[in-house]
Amino acid sequence: MAAPRFALSGTLGRLNLSQGVRRSQRFASTSAGSPSPSSSPIRTGLYATAAVVSTGLLLAYYFDSRSAIHRYVVPPLIRRFLDPEGGHKLAIGVLRTGLAPRDTQKDDEILKCTLWDNITVSNPIGLAAGFDKHGDGIDGLFNFGFSWVEIGSVTPKPQPGNPTPRVFGLIDGGVINRYGFPSEGHAWMLNRLRERIPSFFQPADDSRASLRPGSVLAINLGKNKSSPPDSINDFVTGVRTFAPYADVLVVNVSSPNTPGLRGMQSRTLLEELLGGVSKARDEAVTAGVAGRKPKLVLKIAPDLSEDEIADIAAAIRTSGVDGVIVSNTTVRRPPGLKDPNQIEVGGLSGIPLKPYSLATLRSLRPLLPASIPIFGCGGISSGADALEYAKAGATAVQLYTSFGFDGAGTPRRIKDELVNELKKEGTTWAEVTRKAIAEKSLKEEPPVEPVEAGKGTVEMLVAEAKELGRLLDTFGERFKSSQTGSGEVNADAAVAAAVPLSP
């Protein structure tokens, strides 16, 4: 009985083996005759093409600053995972790599803006100091579409600034900061500026430090915390150091986070300061150190009284300073703020600052001639905000907090909104500012031409004699008419006749 069982088992084993071989042969035959989807050249090519196109579209979307992710995705994520200063440093790091998005659109002609007679920019939207403190991301910021990029504040010697945390976001659309001029110093920034200049670059007489048409580069000069409060030396040194590398040099005496700095806005100290920096700028140009003559601009606070504003205006008018930025941050806290961070010490910027900056602008504009432009800064987050500053007498505007909140596309968005506002009114930025400044500025007296010694003396004497004769004739006629028929003199008429008439 065992033997048959063994034979049956062997037969079944051979049968199973034979079936397995046939199945293997069929699988091999099928594989050889019909290539699998994964090895098909056509399908592989389609997958590769789709991947390349998708990557290209993603990169195009990322590098276009208008993309929604740069307002509604990236900034909220940064605020979610990083504190404000950490997010700030990340943004500067991306700019430093050259991999930041950029404004891909050409500025509309109706945005063209003349800052000074010899300096015109493609749009009136600039970036205020404080974002790029060390000059690490200049070209990346220009690529966002700003026409004015202001770096700094920079102090002569490196200093760390105030202890952290020192930046606080508010749900009210503002930021409180007490940075205290953290700076790598003049030498560091000087190296950054020199790195931008190509070795083959030959500056022309009318070339700009921005190294691009339709834009200007400004450097904001600060003061070391360790320097004497009333000393102007840090600012004079800054002018001498950076005059060859800037289109505009900004004298910052308005930060609330450096002890004693705002005291330099008093008239006596301010006149000394502005005279010193003007002289240093002119000496740099005369000595050939600076190929161009950078403009000097003063940045003031929004917390000044009317008398203080008048004193500042008087100092500016006699100093040779070319313009004013209104304004820096405020130490005031407007009623209605809801964020608990409002109790933090420091300067407040953003939407809550706007009323204070506009009020200061409106007080200062009538005290300065039209030849001295004012640049508005404070709470500008839309095209309508920018236009409001223009109608108040500002030549151009600067952003800061709204740029930090809304991301890389903010300059382009505000420019587009501003174009729509101007088109609705059928006008241009240049026309709005020209009209407002002409109406609101101090009217300048026509210059009196000096008369050379000995020249015109005879003509002047003859003219004076003729005028005296005319007055005597007038007096005689009135005296005769004042006599009554009885030969008496009317006393009132006689007195009137004795009063000289205006020629």
Return the active site residues: 255
Q: Give the chain's radius of gyration (CA, Å).
A: 36
Please name the residue that has the structure tokens 């409001």: 388
Query: CA 497 → CA 140, 464, 466, 468, 493, distances in Å?
Result: 76, 20, 19, 15, 6
First to last CA, the chain: 155
Q: What's the distance, CA 382 to chain centroid?
A: 14
Nearest to 260 by CA among 248, 250, 249, 273: 273
If we measure between CA atoms, which residue out of 286, 287, 115, 316 comes closest to residue 217?
Answer: 115
Q: What angle do CA 100, 105, 106 make, to 5 degrees?
A: 125
Q: Are 125 and 151 in contact (CB under 8 A)?
A: no
State the CB neighbour count (10 A cutoff) for residue 364. Answer: 24
- How does 135-161 read in b/e, with b if 16+ C-beta sit within 10 Å? bbbbbbbbbbbbbbbbbbbbbbeebeb
Can you tell me whether residue 95 is helix, strand or coil?
helix
Reading the block at residue 367, the tokens are 């005290």
Whole-angstrom distance, CA of residue 231 vs CA of residue 262: 13
Cα angle 192-194-195, degrees, rounded to a multiple of 5: 65
Instruction: Say whether 191 sits in a helix, a strand or coil.
Output: helix
Partnered with residue 330 across adjacent β-strands are 348
Distance CA 102, CA 94 (A): 12
Q: Which two three-digit tokens encode residue 238?
A: 């800054």
